[in-house]
Amino acid sequence: MTDTLHITCPACQATNRIPAAKLAASPSCGKCKASLFPDAPFELDEARLNKHLRNDEVPLLVDFWAPWCGPCKMMGPMFAEASRQMSPKVRFAKLDTEQHQSVGSRFQIRGIPLIILFNKGKEVARHAGAINADQIVSWVRQNLKG
């Protein structure tokens, strides 16, 4: 029997079952055909975040940011580069804390940019402040060990 992973489509939110061995083959959603591992971080709102945390079996790194935040804007391209380097082992998403303020209190966000690494719905680690792509990749790898 092949090990399968549940992955929520970033486009239509359908839950997909993908054989673990086929993750590197750029799988697409069975419902809408969108890539399950897009080339860039995908946008989340609170409801979508909840669904990904509830269903996904691939680690998820979320960048909590706001459009008025200079360091957030500076880190955006670096976050996207780290996403390209780590896919499909980790999925990358962004959540605008200005538009979704309830998420800030739920996750006790005190400053942005803030990245939180989730694995199987649970918070594994968090890092506040802008860092470059290599630092993001290194930090994720360090926190997914064990």
Q: What is the pLDDT of residues 16-67, one digit of tens each?
A: 999 999 998 999 999 999 999 998 999 999 999 999 999 999 999 999 999 9
The yes-or-no verdict on residue 98 having pLDDT over 60 is yes
Nearest by Cα to 122 from 41, 39, 59 = 59
The yes-or-no verdict on residue 136 having pLDDT over 90 is yes
Taking the C-alpha atoms of residue 31 and residue 49, their distance in angstroms, rounded to an integer, is 19
3-state secondary structure (DSSP) of residue 130? coil
Q: Give the pLDDT of residue 1.
A: 43
Tokens of 15: 């839950």
Q: What is the mean pLDDT of residues 128-145?
A: 96
Nearest by Cα to 91 from 17, 135, 31, 35 = 35
Give, to the nearest 10 degrees, the angle between helix 70-86 and helix 133-144: 60
CATH of the domain spanning 38-144, picked from 3.40.50.720, 3.90.226.10, 3.40.30.10, 3.40.50.300? 3.40.30.10
Point out the residues that are catalytic. Answer: 69, 72
Per the listing, tokens 């993908």 go with 18
Q: What is the mean pLDDT of residues 76-96?
A: 97
Question: 45 vs 1, which has greater pLDDT?
Answer: 45
* Mean pLDDT value across the chain: 95
